[in-house]
Chain A
Amino acid sequence: MVDKHDEVKEIEVDYTRLRIPFGPVHPALKEPVLLRVTVKKEEILDVDVFLGHVHRGIEALAENRNLVQTLYLVERICGICSHSHTTCYVQALEEIGGIQPPERALYLRTLIFELERIHSHLFLLGVMAYEVGFDTLFMFTWYVRERVLDLFEKITGNRVHHSMNTLGGVRWDLDQRMVDDVRATMKDLQKSVHRIYDFFQDKTVEKRLCDVGILNKDDAKRLCVVGPTARGSGVSIDVRRDHPYAAYTYLKDYFSVAVREKGDVYARTEVRLLELFESINLIQKVLEELPNGSIRVEDNVIRLMRRIPEGEAISLVEAPRGELLYFVKTNGKEGLWRLKVRTPTIPNVLGLKPMLLGCEIADIPVVVASIDPCMACANRVAVIDVATDNEKIVDMDFLRRRRKA
């Protein structure tokens, strides 16, 4: 942190190096993050990542709300992976309270989880195409994604923020017509995802994605990156296989974990494309094996909430971006002592620095998109102040407007 009242220092200025602020407002980024990039002509020499623009103080707010209100708060940490957050939170509470949701509920949770993985990966593939300037693929991918959002709307009532989970089970059930809809959509999705795979092997796209943003296996292990970012660098970790939860305990043999060795942007994209196929298979399997029964332990969630004693638990799920960890400490009086959320983007963002060194400016949006950043998730740390110090070569104040003429 630099004190604003420092005297002006004599600094040797190197005019061949240009420091460019990338973000927090930039057309390539849908969410604010500040990357201060030092470049020489087009080559990147150094990267500094500044988070904290989306910090809303959710963990502090959670301490003033009861357990069920926190469920709705936690859902809005992130719009893209909201179901992962609620599943993780509810699993931790169920562990503290010793509540076992019925099997049908577990299968339904898994169904929505995999649908969310499909929608999130299609989202990211479209964004990646948009970053390399391939508008048509972006339009096509998001057109395909709309069908998944239609399914969400039929099952849960909303396209985003589904609120499917509740203490002790899920809130909405599937009838036969919805099951047929899901099956038909999955069949069409299979063909569309094949086409998207072919598009990503187009010559101009390959030139932009291959051999760019390489993260080798040792760096990946040292920085503890998770999710497709790690799997694209040869590190085979997946919470669904290593620490199964929800219905994955029963479905362990029906999916495989996609791993690629190269570690460049194309490898990470390919991992996500393969995961799309796996998710489609998993959903079809879930629909086949959906057991009958009730969908929640008890209809009155307030009574359940009162039964939860003081205790703490850690819960892990595999969100679309990687491993999501929740630490929940309840106080036995329907409230929380502490809620700590560690989202997958926090370690993944640290991987940006080795990836970006040696790349060009043109590669920044592509590499940043390839780790699938969810800044809204990642802003759980204390505010980092971006002070305007005097040693900048190009200052943000230069971009201020003044009325003239």
Chain B
Amino acid sequence: MGIRLVASSRVKSPWLFHLNTGSCAGCDIEIVAALTPRYDVERLGCVLVGSPRHADVLLVTGPVTRQMLPRFIRVYEQVPEPKVVVAVGTCASSGTPFMGSQMIEGPVDKIVPVDVYVIGCPPRPEAIVKGIVTAVKRKFG
């Protein structure tokens, strides 16, 4: 029963950290819009935290640019286990429309393992919330 309690607490309180690895800010504003009264992701227990050490879910947007690559890896290491990585947007999932550019180190799954891809340019806030909930339930539930 103790394990079930811990698992259900992890599912009911996912703390999000949003990391922009070079996106056009479209996905970022939809992530922030998920906090606002119309979508209100806090009713699911999600809080947008400012320090990666407090987070469970890493929301990554953007194709990873060359300058952000070392910082991305460092932030990934700072998030304590158990953690979940959600790639938000088409750029983070597959790199298009910037494919072929020498400044892009590739989509997110070339660098860290990704649990859920939320595609869209940008995905709607409801899609992002569904992505977070699916990832958290699958990994922690």
Contact = CB atoms under 8 A, between A and B. Distances in A.
Q: Within the complex, are A and B direct neighbours (CB within 8 Å)?
A: yes
Interface of A: 24-27, 30-32, 52-58, 60-61, 64, 72-73, 76-80, 82, 123, 139, 142-143, 146, 159-161, 374-376, 383, 386, 399-401
B44 interface: no
Given A60-B102, A160-B26, A30 B36 contact: no
Interface string B97-110: 11011111000000
Contacts of B9: none
Contacts of B22: 32, 53-56, 376
B24 A79 contact: yes
B32 interface: yes
Contact of A161 (B21, B26, B78, B103): B26
Contact of A30 (B25, B38, B68, B74): B25
Nearest to A146: B38
Most central of B24, B25, B32, B104 by chain A CB within 10 Å: B24
Contacts of B68: 24, 32, 53-54
Given A139-B36, A143-B38, A31 B25 contact: yes
Nearest to B90: A76
Contacts of B19: 25
Contacts of B78: 399-401
Most central of B21, B38, B53 by chain A CB within 10 Å: B38
Nearest to A141: B36
B27 interface: yes
Interface string B31-75: 011011110000000001111110000000011011110010011
A79 B65 contact: no
Interface of B: 18-30, 32-33, 35-38, 48-53, 62-63, 65-68, 71, 74-75, 77-78, 97-98, 100-104, 121-122, 124
B103 A27 contact: no
A30 B20 contact: yes
Given A30-B18, A374-B25, 15 more contacts: A25-B71, A30-B28, A30-B29, A31-B25, A32-B20, A53-B22, A53-B68, A58-B98, A60-B101, A61-B98, A76-B121, A123-B29, A143-B36, A399-B74, A401-B78
Nearest to A120: B29
Given A79-B24, A376-B23, A401-B78, A61 B101 contact: yes
B26 A400 contact: no
A223 to B, nearest CB: 24
B65 A55 contact: yes
A53 B20 CA distance: 10
B38 A383 contact: no
A79 B24 CA distance: 5
Contact of B23 (A54, A383, A399): A54
Contacts of A80: 25-26, 29
B103 A57 contact: yes
Contacts of B52: 25
Given A52-B67, A159-B124, A160-B122, A139 B37 contact: yes
A79 B29 contact: yes
Contacts of A64: 100
B102 A160 contact: no
Contact of B37 (A24, A31, A52, A143): A143
Contacts of A139: 35-37
A79 B122 contact: yes
Given A25-B19, A53-B67, A78 B38 contact: no
Contacts of B63: 56
Contacts of A72: 97
A161 B67 CA distance: 25
27 contacts: A27-B48, A27-B50, A32-B20, A32-B22, A32-B68, A52-B67, A53-B22, A54-B20, A54-B23, A56-B22, A56-B103, A57-B98, A57-B103, A61-B98, A72-B97, A76-B24, A76-B26, A79-B28, A142-B32, A142-B33, A146-B33, A146-B38, A159-B122, A375-B25, A399-B78, A401-B53, A401-B77
A78 B77 contact: no
B97 A76 contact: yes
Most central of A31, A383, A399, A400 by chain B CB within 10 Å: A31
